[in-house]
Copies of this chain bind each other. A is one copy, B any other.
Amino acid sequence: MPRLTEYKDMNPRAKTVVGGIAAARGIDPADINNVWKALARHPAVMEQFAGEMREAFAPGELDPLTKELVYLAVSIANQCDYCIASHGTMARKKGMTDEMHEEFMRVVLAAMKGNKIASAYRVPVDQAFEEA
């Protein structure tokens, strides 16, 4: 049983999900990326994740690139190789330049350091932040 299911072999529920994503991105459903081919035999999880992604990236106050950077930051913190590869690519498509990537990485790495420093030195939360 292959781990990935191609679009033409998907069940109707999966085809509906992939068709919607492909239409929104303006691509051929056959070119959908692997995460959706992997989820094709898991319809409940697939539909839920597709819905959550659609809502998360729906137009709003934050611009599309900022959202990609937030997604990528979480993926680096979690060391998810697939997510770094895919959303790194998407961030590029949405306008991330080399300079932006460099700045982004410096903030991510500073945050990693700040997180571990706060734990290692057991820093109590300032009263000013508690009341905020």
Contacts and interface: CB of A to CB of B under 8 A. Distances in A.
Judged by DSSP, the binding face of A is: helix
A112 B116 CA distance: 8
A30 B100 CA distance: 29
A123 interface: yes
A12 B103 CA distance: 20
Q: Which of A1, A33, A129 has the most CB of B within 10 A?
A: A129
Given A62-B103, A124-B34, A125-B81, A75 B115 contact: yes
A129 B83 CA distance: 10
A24 interface: no
A11 B44 CA distance: 31
Contacts of A62: 69, 100, 103-104, 107
Contact of A45 (B73, B86, B117, B124): B117
A88 B3 CA distance: 13
A92 B132 CA distance: 9
Nearest to A63: B66
Contact of A61 (B99, B113, B116): B99
A130 interface: yes
A101 interface: yes
Contacts of A117: 35, 39, 45, 49, 109
